[in-house]
Structure 1
Amino acid sequence: MTTHDLPRLRPEVVLGPALRTGPKTVHHIKDESTGCFYRVGPREHFIMGLMDGRHTLQDIGVQYRETYDRTLGPDSWQQMFTLLGRYQLLDGHADAGVLDRFRQAQQDKQAARQGWLRRRWVLLQPDRLCATLAARLGFAFRTGFVVPALALIALLQTIVWTHTTVLAHDASHQRSWAVAVPLLLVLGWLITMLHELAHGVTCRHFGGSVTEIGLSWRFPLLTPYCRTDDIVLFHRRRARVGTAFAGVFVGLLSLAPVTLWWWLTRDGGPGHRIAAALLLFGSAGSLMSLLPFLRSDGYVMLTHALGLVDLRRESYRFWRLRLRRRDPAARDTLRAYPSGDVRAYTLYGIATLAVAVPAYCALMWVWFARLRHWTGPGWAVVVLAAETLVVAGLLLGAARGRRADRQAADA
């Protein structure tokens, strides 16, 4: 009996759960030996899931017919084995040289994405560290720890936001700014690194790998990041949402000793005002990251809570189709969307506009109020209009670049 009679995927091949993208359902597949991710449809995923070396082609065909009420004929099998051969996924039929080329192509693809509009600087390759921490901190993923920790976070945030005026006064009246600013930067970055490391440890706890922690530049923001690409392979929705939430969870929890210190030194003891600044800005920053915009933690949480691949991108696509709904092809595509996803994309698009437009207008008003004192109101309007055009052009260029990357990946 040949390996084709009892087909088996290579041990490094990992199959992910069903996620929705537009009107389609897809599954992510990762080849751990090359780092490459692929997408397949539900039927291909079903067949591949049975390729474990114990099911014959006849067994797979019978189960496929029982599930989909269709027969796998010779042409279907030919297409399936062509797909497996193209990506070298079948055990016993993979060419080491081809896998090396895939690995190099994946690295080249990552390098090609670097530019002045977006760039990443890797600071740490933390997979082994995250694995060690995940093993030693297993108790932190149990309900008996998580629930009391969430209650403590709620209590701390209640204290912070009911003492905002006092905290703001303390934070803005530092005894020595020359000491306070560097110390706040160091402590802030320490909390930020704990935030990112929490994503990695949680990803490792649920079985994923963590390849990078570093800095990401996406015009106009410079932010830390932790690569947890394997999140799309977690079959439990709770694992995907929990991995995205872990950073905010640890960031807010790390403010517990800061709150205690601020409270114990309220008579003006050492570090009181620095603790106030760290509490105020740390709480605000963590809570802001829960807003489901700009690919924040909250955005990733919402995306996976809804079982989607990319909420923002698909929302844009959905609204473009709605604006072209007089086109029969657009109407047909819209009809294929699940009703729940239609509501999600509609509400997300409205919410994005409701937040983005007032926020941009407020920013422009602040800039106008500053500029008019230096240049006069006329030139202030000209400068802001030019700035708006430049930002729009940069964002459009970035969107076209992402679209080109997706088309290249699909090819």
Structure 2
Amino acid sequence: MSATPGVPAPAARSAARAHRPVLRAGVRIGPPLLRGPRTVHLIRHPVTGAVSEVGTREHFVISRLDGTRNLDDLAPEYAARFGRRLAEESWNRLLGLLGARGLLEGAPDPPPPAHPAPDVTFWRGTRRMVADADATTARLHRALRPLLHPAVQLPLLAAVSVMALVLAVHAAELGHGAAVLIRDPVVLGAAALFLWFSITVHELAHGVAAQHFGGHVAEIGLRWRFPAAMLYCTVDDYLFIPGRRARLVIAGAGAYVNLVLLLPFGIWWSTLPATDPARPLLAGLLLLGGIQALSNLVPLPPLDGYRMLGHLLGTAHLAPETRTYLALRRAGSEAASAYPRRARLIYTAYGAGSVLLILLAVTGTCAAALLLLA
């Protein structure tokens, strides 16, 4: 009698149960991330760089695919963790999915993800500037490595913190200095050039920090929105770097370096007498540079502070998931009640905090404009 179509033969089912799959060498699995009502893990292919998203149950199985376990070995562990036995159908489906994505040893590589051609015009666009961004930042890291030692960075961090505190205390003087600076076109042009250079160093700092923690820099290029143009540096695997501290440092490295670049000007400004004509010009530069650095730490997309908050909370796509949850809650949908308590607290707090931050930013901008006009 022939086998029923669609139903595996007993020999095939036996072989599937006895199979001890091995996860492909180089596959990287990220930490747990809250995304909507679920906790997910990201998995990165070592060759194509394609990223897949799996739930906690799939991650439990995938993280144990070391060639020493089959379904009968994993089923008791799975039952002890989740209160139900791993079904053979689920096991076969998961292995099929991993094989199709090239994540198992011996599976063929899937085609690389398609990237749409960049829309480059005179008014806006991006252009790759370095052939091998990872090698370039690796050379920078080797040259700067002695400066990254804690014996250098801890005193530097303390000095930057003191400078930020002193500048906050003298905010009124800095505001007056900015008004003086804006009325001097030559000095204003020099300040603008310095701030543009600071943005370039900001981007490279992300790449050097990623190299320091074992990350990979995918691209260094130029992005322009006429008439402004600035460098960008893309770290494509920082979500897979182990250690929350490392991910926070990579995200915050740019703003930190911006403040370090201001440190000599802050020392110079603090040593000048109040009557020195250079003091208000330096005060204006410090205000503009401080705003440039610290505004990047605001936890709103696409700023670095938004990424840092996501790492700190262990969340993925914090802003869009917040909008989704709040929309469900306003509509009275039952889907909102499916969110765990931690997700409800995070999304509600971030939604309220975002509105407050936007109001403060608008108020501060209007107050600064009125002050400069006056």
Q: Please give the TM-score of this superposition, normalised by the length of structure 1.
A: 0.73
Separation in 1, partners of 2:192, 2:363: 30
Q: What is the match of residue 342 of structure 1?
A: 344
Q: How does 1:14-33 map to 2 (within 5 A)?
A: 14-33=28-47
What amino acid does structure 2 have at the position aligned with 1:302? L
Residue type of the alignment partner of 1:226: C
1:233 CA displacement: 1.2
Deviations 1:338-396 (A, max 9, x none): 222212211221222233357558879999xxxxxxxxxxxxxxxxxxxxxxxxxxxxx
Instruction: State the Cα distance separating 1:230 from its structure 2 match.
Output: 1.6
Equivalent pair of 2:182/2:188 in contact (CA under 8 Å): no
Instruction: Name the amino acid aligned to 1:59.
Output: D
Q: Aligned residue for 1:249?
A: 256
Query: 3-state SS of the aligned residue for 1:102?
Result: coil
Is contact 1:27-1:39 (8 Å) kept? yes
1:271, distance to aligned residue in structure 2 (A): 6.8
Write the distance in 1 (CA, Å) between the matches of 2:291 and 2:161: 14
Report the counterpart of residue 239 of structure 1 in structure 2: 246
- Displacement after TM superposition at 1:238 (Å): 1.6
Q: Distance in 1 between matches of 2:340 and 2:275?
A: 59
Aligned counterpart in structure 2 of residue 102 of structure 1, from 88, 103, 112: 112
Q: Secondary structure at the match of 2:43?
A: strand
Rounded to whole Å, the distance in 1 between the matches of 2:341 and 2:123 is 36
1:267 to partner: Cα distance: 7.9
* 8 A contact 2:44–2:51 mirrored in 1: yes
The answer to whether the 8 A contact 1:8-1:91 is kept is yes
Q: Report if aligned partners of 2:223, 2:231 keep a CA contact under 8 Å in 1.
A: yes
Q: Which secondary structure state, in structure 2, belongs to the residue aligned with residue 132 of structure 1?
A: helix
CA deviation map 1:302-326 (0-9, x unaligned)? 111111002111110111011111x
Distance 1:364 1:260 in 2: 30
User: Bigger shift: 206-215 or 352-361?
Assistant: 352-361
Measured after TM superposition, the shift of residue 156 of structure 1 is 0.9
Percent sequence identity over aligned pairs: 34
- Does the CA-based 8 Å contact 1:122-1:215 persist in structure 2? yes
8 Å Cα contact 2:178/2:288 also seen in 1:
no
Q: 1:204 to 1:320 in 2, by over 3 A?
A: same
Over 3 Å counting, the alpha-carbon distance change for 1:177 and 1:165 in structure 2 is: same
1:12 aligns with 2:26: yes
Q: Report deviation, 1:53.
A: 3.4
1:260 to 260, 267, 284: 267
SS at match of 2:25: coil
What code does the residue aligned with 2:210 have? C
1:378 maps to which residue? none
Q: How high is the TM-score relative to the length of structure 2? A: 0.80
Contact 1:292–1:298 at 8 Å: present in 2 too?
Answer: yes
Aligned to 2:50, which of 18, 36, 42?
A: 36
> In 2 relative to 1, CA 60–140 (structure 1 residues): closer, same or farther, beyond 3 Å?
farther
Tell me, yes or no, if the aligned pair for 1:184 and 1:274 is still in contact at 8 Å. no
1:186 matched residue in structure 2: 193
Q: Secondary structure at the match of 2:98?
A: helix
Unaligned runs of 5+ in 1: 368-411
2:77 matched residue in structure 1: 63
> Residues 123, 184 of structure 1: CA spacing in aligned structure 2 closer, same or farther, 3 A cutoff?
farther
- The alignment status of 1:127 with 2:129, answered yes or no, reads no
Q: CA deviation at 1:277?
A: 3.3
* Residue of structure 1 in register with 2:207 after alignment: 200
Note the residue ranges of structure 2 that are not aligned, 5 or more in a row: 1-14, 370-374
Superposed CA offset, 1:182-210 (max 9, x none): 32232112211221112112222222211
Which letter maps to 2:94?
M
Q: Which amino acid aligns with 1:21?
A: R
Tell me the alpha carbon deviations over residues 142-170 of structure 1, each in whole angstroms, 9 at most, x when there is no partner.
65444433321121112323333444444
Call closer, same or farther: CA 1:205–1:87 in 2, change over 3 Å.
same
| Greater percentage in helix | 1
Inter-partner Cα distance in structure 2 for 1:317 and 1:134? 40
The alpha carbon displacement at 1:272 in A equals 5.7
1:61/1:114 CA distance change after superposition, 3 Å: farther
Checking the alignment, whether the CA contact within 8 Å between 1:315 and 1:346 is kept in structure 2 is yes
Size of the aligned set, in residue pairs, is 353
- Aligned residues of 2:45 and 2:102 also touching (Cα < 8 A): no
Aligned-pair CA distance for 1:223: 6.5
After superposition, the Cα gap between the structure-2 partners of 1:361 and 1:242, relative to the gap in structure 1 and judged at 3 Å, is: closer
Output the CA distance in 2 between the equivalents of 1:187 and 1:23.
45
Amino acid of the structure 1 residue aligned with 2:138? A
Tell whether 2:305 aligns with 1:298.
yes
Per the alignment, do residues 69 and 241 of structure 1 end up closer, same or farther by CA in structure 2, a change over 3 Å counting?
same
Name the aligned partner's letter for residue 205 of structure 2. A
1:287 corresponds to which residue?
A: 294
CA separation of 1:92/1:118 partners in 2, compared to 1, >3 Å: closer, same or farther?
farther
Q: Which one-letter code corresponds to 2:32 in the other structure?
A: A
Equivalence for 2:358: 356
Aligned to 1:72: 86
CA offset at residue 294 of structure 1?
3.1
1:53-99 C-alpha deviation (Å, 9 max, x unpaired): 3444543344333323333333122201221122111121214xxx4
Counterparts of 2:119 and 2:51, CA distance in 1: 16
Q: Which shifted more, 55-64 or 8-17?
A: 55-64
Instruction: Select the residue among 318, 329, 334 that pairs with 1:322.
Output: 329
Question: RMSD of the alignment, in Å?
Answer: 3.7
What corresponds to 2:64 in structure 1?
50
For residues 227 and 13 of structure 1, the distance between their equivalents in structure 2, rounded to whole angstroms, comes to: 20
